[in-house]
Amino acid sequence: MEPGPSPQPGLPGDRPLRQLGRSLVTMGPHRGAHRVALRAGISVLVPLLLLVSIGRPELTPYAAFGAFTSLYGRAHRHADRTGMQAIAGVALVASVTLGVAVSLAPASQWLVVPVGALLAAWGSLTSDAYRWHPPGPLFLVFGFAVCAMVPAQPMDLLVAPAVAGASGVFSLLVGHVGALRDPASWARPALPRPRFGDALEPTGSRAHLLRYLVAVTASGALATTSGWEHPYWAMVASVVVLSGPDLASRFVRGLQRIIGTLLGVGVAAAVLAWAPHEGAGAVLVIAGLQMLAELFVGRNYALALLFVTPLALLMGQLLAPSPVGPLLRDRLLETVLGAFVAMVVLLTVPDRLPRRRRAPG
C-alpha cells in the first residue's frame, strides 16, 4: 500500500509537480486487485461482525488491525504470501499489544509520541529486512497509535492480542481459499529470512530511520500540543510521506495524501451523514469501503483516499461516536500537519549523516 524507502536521488527541478500531475490522472494496472479487495473485505467483515453481534464493539480496533494481515503479499504466491503475512501478522499483534500497554500508562497521550516514533523506525527497518509488500511501517504505527489512544483495562493486555491474533489467523485462512479452486497452487508456507544487513546497506538508509524518528515525533508532539483529538493522524501522515522509494516520490506521496484527504473528507461527510454508525450496518459499510480502498490503492493512491478517509472515520465512530464536523476538520488539519512536517524533514536531514571522529591516541 505504501512504497518503502530506497536510496534517494536529489530533488530535480519540477519533477515532483510533473509526477503529481500524472499520478492524479493515471490508473495503474489492475493486477488482480479484485481478489485482494475481496480477501481484505472478508477478513475485516467477519471478525467485526462477530464482535458487534455479541455486544463487544470496544474490541473492534484489535480485530481490525489483526485483519490487516490480509493486506500483505497481495501479488505473491500462496507459500510466499503466507510466510510474509505470518511475520507481518505477528508484528501487527505486537503493535496492538504495545498500544494497549501505553494506554494503561500514566500520561499515555504523550508517551504514544516517542514510542510511536521508535516503532516507525523499527518497522521501516523490519519491513526492508523481510521485504514486506506493502513496505513500510504504516499499519504498525497506525495500529499502535489507535490502541494507545483507546481507553483500556489491564485485562486487555490479554484480550487485545488474543482478538488481534485470531483475526490475523482468520486472514491467513481467507488467503488460502484460492487454493481450493486450484489445489496445485498450494505449497508449504515459506517463512522469509530477515536481511537486516542488506536493509542498512544502501546509502541513506540510516538517515532515513532518523527521518522517521524526527518526523513522527515532531508531528505527534505538535498535534498533541494543539489539543487535537486524534494526534496519531498526523503521525500516520508523516509515515505515509516517508514511505516513498525516493525523494521525489515522497514529496508526491505527501501531496497525494493532502489532496486525496481533502477530497476524501467530502466523501466522508456524505457517508457519515447516511451510513449507520453502529451495529451490523456500520460493519457492512466498513467492509465495503475496505474493498474499494484495496481496489484502487495500488492503482491510484489519491483516488484510494476517497475511500480510506471515510473508512477510518467510520471505524472510529463505531467505537466512540463523536460530532462529525470537528472530526472532519481534525482529519484534514492533522493530515496536512503530518505531511508538511515530513516534507520539511526530508529537506533538512541529509542522506549522509556526519560520522563521529575518534579521539586521538
Crossing angle for the helix pair 156-174 and 60-67, to the nearest 10 degrees? 40
pTM greater than 0.95: no
Task: Give the model's pLDDT for residue 305.
Answer: 95
For residue 191, give the amino acid letter: L
Q: How many CB atoms lie within 10 A of CB 319?
A: 18
For residue 320, give the amino acid letter: A
Report residue 316 as a C-alpha cell.
Answer: 472510529
Task: Give the model's pLDDT for residue 10.
Answer: 43
Rounded to a whole number of angstroms, the CA Rg of the chain reads: 20
Report residue 99 as a C-alpha cell.
Answer: 498500544
Task: Give the model's pLDDT for residue 34.
Answer: 77
In the three-class reduction of DSSP (H, G, I as helix; E, B as strand; rest coil), residue 6 is classed as coil
pLDDT tens across the length of the chain (361 residues)? 343 333 334 444 456 566 666 666 676 656 666 778 888 899 999 999 999 999 999 999 999 999 999 999 877 677 778 888 999 999 999 999 999 999 999 888 899 999 999 999 999 999 999 999 888 999 999 999 999 999 899 999 999 999 999 999 999 988 877 666 666 666 677 787 889 888 888 878 888 999 999 999 999 999 999 988 899 999 999 999 998 788 888 888 899 999 999 999 999 999 999 988 889 999 999 999 999 999 888 778 889 999 999 999 999 998 888 899 999 999 999 999 999 999 999 999 887 666 555 444 4
Write out the H or E segment, with its range, that includes residue 233.
helix 232-242
In the three-class reduction of DSSP (H, G, I as helix; E, B as strand; rest coil), residue 151 is classed as coil
CA atoms of 129 and 145, how far apart (whole Å)? 23
Task: Give the model's pLDDT for residue 86.
Answer: 92
Contact 113, 231 (CB under 8 A): yes
CA atoms of 17 and 14, how far apart (whole Å)? 5
For residue 333, give the amino acid letter: L
Report residue 194 as a C-alpha cell.
Answer: 530477515
Task: Give the model's pLDDT for residue 354.
Answer: 61
Task: Give the model's pLDDT for residue 227.
Answer: 87
Q: Rounded to 5, what percent of the chain is helix, strand, coil?
A: 75, 0, 25
Report how far apart the first and last C-alpha atoms of the chain are (Å, whole number): 51
Nearest to 244 by CA among 342, 341, 337, 338: 342
Contact 234, 339 (CB under 8 A): no
Query: Alpha-carbon dihedral of residues 292, 293, 294, 298, nearest 10 degrees?
Result: 120
Task: Give the model's pLDDT for residue 116.
Answer: 97
CB-count exposure of residue 65 (10 Å: 0-12, 13-18, 19+): buried
Q: How many CB atoms lie within 10 A of CB 21?
A: 12
Q: What is the maximal distance between C-alpha atoms in the chain?
A: 74
Residue that has been written with the C-alpha cell 504498525 in this structure: 140
